[in-house]
Amino acid sequence: MASVNEDFLNLKNDYLFSAITERKNEFEKNNPDKKVISLGIGDVSLPLTKVVIDAMHKATDEMAKKETFRGYGVVQGYEFLIDKILEVEYQKRGVFLEKDEIFIASGSKGDLAGIAEIFSKDNRVALMNPVYPAYRDVNVMLGRDDIVYLNGTEENGFVPEIPSKHVDIIYLCSPNNPTGTVFTRKQLELWVKYAKENNAVIFFDSVYEIFIENENIPHSIYEIEGAKEVAVEFRSFSKLAGFTGVRCSFVVVPKELKLYTEFGEKVDLNSLFRRRQSVKFGAAPYITQRAAEAVYSDEGQKEIRENVKYYKENAKYIKKELEKLGFTVYGGENSPYIWLKIPKNMSSWEFFDKLLNEAGVVGTPGIGFGDAGEGFFRLTAFSSKEETKEAINRISNIFKR
Amino acid sequence: MASVNEDFLNLKNDYLFSAITERKNEFEKNNPDKKVISLGIGDVSLPLTKVVIDAMHKATDEMAKKETFRGYGVVQGYEFLIDKILEVEYQKRGVFLEKDEIFIASGSKGDLAGIAEIFSKDNRVALMNPVYPAYRDVNVMLGRDDIVYLNGTEENGFVPEIPSKHVDIIYLCSPNNPTGTVFTRKQLELWVKYAKENNAVIFFDSVYEIFIENENIPHSIYEIEGAKEVAVEFRSFSKLAGFTGVRCSFVVVPKELKLYTEFGEKVDLNSLFRRRQSVKFGAAPYITQRAAEAVYSDEGQKEIRENVKYYKENAKYIKKELEKLGFTVYGGENSPYIWLKIPKNMSSWEFFDKLLNEAGVVGTPGIGFGDAGEGFFRLTAFSSKEETKEAINRISNIFKR
């Protein structure tokens, strides 16, 4: 009798975004003349840049000729891309990694899930709260029920304290989704120290690092001494270069990082992940990897920074205008996310309904990111300048009264 | 202490292809003037077809403009592609599936691994032997140690008999890698009947179905009545349209298919897989899905069939010439694989060395696909016509004497 992996039955329904869509659709049905503006989804709106498009056309043409056609790729990724990543993302910041410590793939979702498989079910996991819900779901699917939540609050600036009890795996996301807050060098040093003392591993999700502007904020956890022994880093081209529909990511698995067997022997995460990828992952497409390579040309770097600047201006505008209205606002500075404190004991769903019904603006209720998100609301800077202004105007009209 | 998932330590080293490469490199170093020809790897050599290339350029241009740019895709896949698959792959063969039973993804490796996760560790798995090694590896990683091997032999034409003891999950690959043999309708009917009687599930890997020419051979397991209740089907554009470097696949998970909880309740594999994909998979790229859609245009269908014809001519040529030399040869008819019986008590590695050293031709030792592959050797039809002829000439020169 084919039986189900019962861990999957412990998954909660993916309620948040379907509930948002449902309420939005209902509103649009009842108000056919009102255009709803979404500041809810973390998807980009600017198209791919010229250098990237040119690289894709060129690679496509290579795939059309027998002499330059590329079939199965190297599972780890093409060296032409890995070399660029090593140089631009790491060496320029004084971080030296080896080629075989970088794994190119097709999106951080898959990478976060793939690495987590290699850890025993018995590891105690620490998750920030509020946080990107997929971290929790991946662990639930793997049967890990020992999850410690590290609450982000106004008091700690949404940067949780080191846990008082021992944990084995720690998910850190900086710049953070949804709170928009960032870990300083000092804070990261404490986490790396904790991980070393506890033989724990940090999963460092820094897919929003391109939004960092404050010089004190590390872009990579490997800027912290000793981090290679304890940290895996997840990076993506989705927000870096607008690749949400193209799909390219990479994960850094340093060879210094060891896991333990039940008899206390050390094993190498890097080799196990390589083996895992060779069985379960079919290499990122050639054209995609050429597109990602183009991001690292001088012109490519200039273009993506212009796009990021556009989104950051949106973020700052949202933050400034909401503060004028008397709101307390977090994030929005080294991040595309604005984390808004909801006034007067409203729930985050009530605030959602108010914004939708009175302003025709969609955001994301904080509760969707964990119970510590209640009382807050996430807005994103990824819409167009025009839509962002219009949304903020509409919100102002409600709260100015 | 971060501990390892010990199931991963039970993986055997991926010895086969690295050993082949090592011996090939050694030979080339010692014989710098001899060009080695590989009939070893299952990768295509013909470039992408014109219709596909045009679709990719067009989709790339759409990604360059704000109005037509596409960010995050639908996790299940775009409807424009799903509709074409339903029509061309299924309705034309009298199989009626629903849109939400098709999941587009980025390669069958990932699909095979993803579906297997949703089944309990305790299921007893039946694998054909010899077989594509990733089936075994995926199950080892999931901690399944109760694996039954169904041997393919000359006596049963490499189509194993129904197992005498109960199994829960059955992997069937037809046209088969590596033996090139196919399951007839009658044979598949017996398997579907077995699966129904045993509440077992069949994973039907038909990524080579485009090579089928015999009318008695089903292209889809859903051509067998009742198969929707018991079978998941894996399909890919890799061999269908030369997408090995593009990456596109789909998996069919019928809603009739149920798994059992430990208390005997039925649960729906389709919804669980959908939930799994939403957490762990970031949708196939837009451009890739447009490329796959183009395969289903009239011109696209014509083009891919021409390419397949090219490979099939290679297969038939290899088969015919080897038979002339007195070899016993399987496959090569509804398949790109030729499964050669090795003469005179040589091991498959000894035969590999003989072919490499005396003819400069690389193939794959049968033992690499499981112990039942010993005594056999796999050659593939994916090289160019010229290289294939030259390889066969060289082989003839050894064995003619």
Among B42, B164, B157, B377, residue whose Cα is nearest residue B149: B164
**Residue B145 in tokens:** 């140690």
Condensed to tens digits (0 to 9), the pLDDT of residues A261-295 reads 999 999 999 999 999 999 999 999 999 999 999 99
Residue with tokens 């069937």: B172
Does the pLDDT of residue B344 top 90, yes or no?
no
Asked if A260's CB is within 8 angstroms of B3's CB, the reply is: yes
For residues B371 and B236, membership in a common domain is answered with no
Q: For residue B46, which residues of chain A lie inside 8 Å, CB to CB?
A: 66, 69
Asked if B137's CB is within 8 angstroms of A43's CB, the reply is: no
- State pTM to two decimals: 0.97
Q: For residue B260, which residues of chain A lie inside 8 Å, CB to CB?
A: 1-4
B3: nearest CA partner in chain A: A260
For residues B226 and B290, membership in a common domain is answered with yes
Asked if B2's CB is within 8 angstroms of A247's CB, the reply is: no
Radius of gyration from C-alpha coordinates of chain B: 22
Q: For residue B271, which residues of chain A lie inside 8 Å, CB to CB?
A: none
DSSP state at residue A92: G
CA distance A52 to A60: 12
Here the CATH number for the domain that contains residue B369 is: 3.90.1150.10
Asked if B245's CB is within 8 angstroms of A8's CB, the reply is: no
Q: For residue A280, which residues of chain B lie inside 8 Å, CB to CB?
A: 109-110, 113, 134, 138, 141
The widest CA-to-CA distance across chain A, in whole angstroms, is: 68
Condensed to tens digits (0 to 9), the pLDDT of residues A115-159 reads 999 999 999 999 999 999 999 999 999 999 899 999 999 999 999
| Beta-bridge partner residues of A173 | A205
Of residues A110, A118, A138, nearest to B8 (C-beta): A118
For residues B356 and B223, membership in a common domain is answered with no
Last residue of a domain, one of A297, A324, A345: A297
Does the pLDDT of residue B401 top 70, yes or no?
no
Q: For residue A57, which residues of chain B lie inside 8 Å, CB to CB?
A: 57, 60
**Residue A153 in tokens:** 């609050």
* Side-chain half-sphere CA neighbours of A266 within 13 A: 8
For residues A354 and A262, membership in a common domain is answered with no
CB proximity list for A137: less than 8 A, separation 6 or greater: A11, A12, B279
Among B323, B240, B274, B316, residue whose Cα is nearest residue B49: B240
Among A174, A293, A286, residue whose Cα is nearest residue A241: A293
Of residues B41, B259, B283, nearest to A3 (C-beta): B259
Q: Number of Cβ pairs closer than 8 Å across A and B?
A: 252
**Residues B369, B373, B376, B381: what is their CA dihedral angle, to the nearest 10 degrees?**
-30
CB proximity list for B32: less than 8 A, separation 6 or greater: none
Report pLDDT for B345: 84
State how many domains chain B has.
2
For residues A39 and A107, membership in a common domain is answered with no
Look at residue A1 and tell me if it is in a domain.
no
Condensed to tens digits (0 to 9), the pLDDT of residues B67-78 reads 999 999 999 999
A74: nearest CA partner in chain B: B245
Asked if A244's CB is within 8 angstroms of B71's CB, the reply is: yes
Angle at A317 between CA A312 and CA A321, to 5 degrees: 155
Condensed to tens digits (0 to 9), the pLDDT of residues B277-303 reads 999 999 999 999 999 999 999 999 999
CA distance A311 to A315: 6
Contact A255, A101 (CB under 8 A): yes
Of residues A3, A200, A262, nearest to B122 (C-beta): A3
Look at residue B2 and tell me if it is in a domain.
no
CA distance A136 to A372: 14
Last residue of a domain, one of A281, A297, A313: A297
Look at residue B382 and tell me if it is in a domain.
yes
Among B268, B381, B376, B372, residue whose Cα is nearest residue B330: B376
For residues B153 and B215, membership in a common domain is answered with yes
- Measure in Å the smallest separation between the Cα of B400 and chain A Cα atoms: 33
| Beta-bridge partner residues of B80 | none
Lowest-confidence pick of A3-17, A92-106, B255-269 = A3-17
Tell me the CA distances in angstroms from A314 to A20, A215, A248, A379, A398, one per residue in order.
22, 21, 25, 11, 20
For residues B15 and B114, membership in a common domain is answered with no
Look at residue A389 and tell me if it is in a domain.
yes
Residue numbers of the domain that contains A216 = 50-297
DSSP state at residue A271: H
DSSP state at residue A119: B
A268: nearest CA partner in chain B: B4
Look at residue A293 and tell me if it is in a domain.
yes
Among B258, B107, B230, residue whose Cα is nearest residue B169: B230
DSSP characters over A30-64: H-TTSPPEE-------SPPPHHHHHHHHHHHHHTT
| Beta-bridge partner residues of B233 | B204, B252
B54: nearest CA partner in chain A: A60
Condensed to tens digits (0 to 9), the pLDDT of residues A357-392 reads 999 999 999 999 999 999 999 999 999 999 999 999
Look at residue B160 and tell me if it is in a domain.
yes
- Measure in Å the smallest separation between the Cα of A277 and chain B Cα atoms: 9
- Measure in Å the smallest separation between the Cα of B398 and chain A Cα atoms: 30
Asked if A53's CB is within 8 angstroms of B63's CB, the reply is: yes
**AA letter at B94:** G
Last residue of a domain, one of B267, B296, B325: B296
CB proximity list for B26: less than 8 A, separation 6 or greater: none
Residue with tokens 């029509």: B87
Q: For residue B201, which residues of chain A lie inside 8 Å, CB to CB?
A: 2
CA distance B60 to A51: 12
Contact A273, A104 (CB under 8 A): no
CA distance A207 to A216: 18
Q: Beta strands B231-236 and A258-260: pairing type?
A: unpaired
For residues A265 and A304, membership in a common domain is answered with no
Asked if A245's CB is within 8 angstroms of B71's CB, the reply is: yes
Instruction: Tell me what the mean pLDDT of segment B101-115 comes to.
Output: 98
| DSSP alpha helix (H) spans, A200-280 | 237-241, 269-280
3-class DSSP state of A390 = helix
Does the pLDDT of residue A15 top 80, yes or no?
no
Report pLDDT for A17: 81
Report pLDDT for B49: 98
The count of other CB atoms within 10 Å of the CB of residue A25 is 11
Contact A160, A127 (CB under 8 A): no
- Measure in Å the smallest separation between the Cα of B8 and chain A Cα atoms: 7
Look at residue B283 and tell me if it is in a domain.
yes
CA distance A330 to A341: 8
CA distance B284 to B325: 46
Q: Beta strands A125-129 and A169-173: pairing type?
A: parallel
Angle at A374 between CA A369 and CA A377, to 5 degrees: 75
Condensed to tens digits (0 to 9), the pLDDT of residues B127-164 reads 999 999 999 999 999 999 899 999 999 999 999 999 98
* Residue of A21 and B353 predicted with greater confidence: B353
* Residue of B67 and A1 predicted with greater confidence: B67
CA distance B189 to B191: 5
CA distance B49 to A66: 11
- For all residues of chain A together, what is the average pLDDT? 96
For residues A240 and A262, membership in a common domain is answered with yes
Here the CATH number for the domain that contains residue B283 is: 3.40.640.10
Q: For residue A17, which residues of chain B lie inside 8 Å, CB to CB?
A: none
**Residue B320 in tokens:** 């015919």
For residues B314 and B331, membership in a common domain is answered with yes
Condensed to tens digits (0 to 9), the pLDDT of residues A192-202 reads 999 999 999 99
Report pLDDT for B18: 82
Give the H/E segment covering residue A352.
helix A348-354
Contact A239, A180 (CB under 8 A): no
| One-letter-per-residue 3-state SS of chain B | CCEECHHHHHCCCCHHHHHHHHHHHHHHHHCCCCCCEECCCCCCCCCCCHHHHHHHHHHHHHCCCCCCCCCCCCCCCCHHHHHHHHHHHHHHHCCCCCHHHEEEECCHHHHHHHHHHCECCCCCEEEEECCCCHHHHHHHHCCCCCEEEEECCCCCCCCCCCCCCCCCEEEEECCCCCCCCCCCHHHHHHHHHHHHHCCCEEEEECCCHHHCCCCCCCCCHHHCCCHHHCEEEEEEHHHHHCCCCCCCEEEECCCCCEEECCCCCEEEHHHHHHHHHHHHCCCCCHHHHHHHHHHCCHHHHHHHHHHHHHHHHHHHHHHHHHHHCCCCEEECCCCCEEEEECCCCCCHHHHHHHHHHHHCEECEEHHHHCHHHCCEEEEECCCCHHHHHHHHHHHHHHHHC
For residues B164 and B206, membership in a common domain is answered with yes
Q: Percent of chain B scored above 70 by pLDDT?
A: 100
Q: For residue A283, which residues of chain B lie inside 8 Å, CB to CB?
A: 245, 247
Look at residue B1 and tell me if it is in a domain.
no
Contact B31, B360 (CB under 8 A): yes
CB proximity list for B392: less than 8 A, separation 6 or greater: B317, B318, B321, B322
ipTM of the complex: 0.96
Among A321, A316, A322, residue whose Cα is nearest residue A377: A322
Tell me the CA distances in angstroms from A37 to A242, A249, A363, A380, A383, one per residue in order.
20, 29, 9, 12, 9
Q: For residue B117, which residues of chain A lie inside 8 Å, CB to CB?
A: 5, 8, 141
Among B144, B280, B8, B115, residue whose Cα is nearest residue A273: B8
For residues A85 and A208, membership in a common domain is answered with yes
